[in-house]
Chains A and B, each alone.
Chain A
Amino acid sequence: AQTVTQSQPEMSVQEAETVTLSCTYDTSESDYYLFWYKQPPSRQMILVIRQEAYKQQNATENRFSVNFQKAAKSFSLKISDSQLGDAAMYFCAYRPGNTPLVFGKGTRLSVIA
């Protein structure tokens, strides 16, 4: 079975500091996609960043970047210069081909002013 594990139920970071959220996954597929989604309290889930497994280069979107280690099946999210608006639940998700996303259990990130 394909699983996604987020080992940190909660994290906190000081405003303007950097934080890394971890994610590991289990798969026998060679071609797949990985995503990080952000879900603020009572608000819509939005895509933060995506990574194609066939790409060696780590994806980056402004202050958000990933460390993708395919052999280790690891996909961590780094948030630089953390802002109060980054406080949310973050879900790591995995998708092989056209099958539905498999989500991790999430990491709740708090940002301390």
Chain B
Amino acid sequence: DAMVIQNPRYQVTQFGKPVTLSCSQTLNHNVMYWYQQKSSQAPKLLFHYYDKDFNNEADTPDNFQSRRPNTSFCFLDIRSPGLGDAAMYLCATSAYANYGYTFGSGTRLTVV
């Protein structure tokens, strides 16, 4: 089945140690998104790609970077995780045609 896959499902990292979260999709969707979701809150958009065009939200910390080497893969890099970065990170995809998003299962990041 076509889907959005996030790895790993759970990630524990040390304070200040760089960490990378990955997302892959078999839907061939043009657009990929990264959201941060803290407990019982709405997802907060960090950035998104239209094809290779990168769009950063104004309030996304510089600590967060992203890469999209091809249509299928997208990575979220956190250069120096702080305790406040502990959250669920959601990857989503969409086609241009406004059919909503397909979400991955998320990666829950713990910072110790």
Contact = CB atoms under 8 A, between A and B. Distances in A.
A64 interface: no
B103 A45 contact: yes
Interface in B63-112: 90, 96, 98-106
Interface of A: 33, 35, 37, 43-47, 50, 52, 89, 91, 93, 95, 97-98, 100-101, 103-106, 108
Contact of A106 (B31, B40, B100, B105): B40
B33 to A, nearest CB: 6
Give the one of B45, B98, B103, B105 with max A CB within 10 A: B98
Report the interface size class on chain B.
20 to 34
B105 A44 contact: yes
B10 to A, nearest CB: 10
A17 to B, nearest CB: 24
A52 B99 CA distance: 10
Contact of A108 (B31, B40, B100): B40
Given A103-B42, A104-B42, A106-B40, A44 B106 contact: yes
A35 B100 contact: yes
B98 A101 contact: no
B56 to A, nearest CB: 12
A12 B73 CA distance: 39
Contact of B100 (A43, A47, A98): A47
Given A44-B103, A101-B100, 11 more contacts: A33-B98, A37-B103, A45-B43, A45-B90, A46-B103, A100-B33, A100-B45, A100-B48, A103-B42, A103-B43, A106-B40
A108 B39 CA distance: 12
A45 B104 CA distance: 8
Nearest to A52: B98
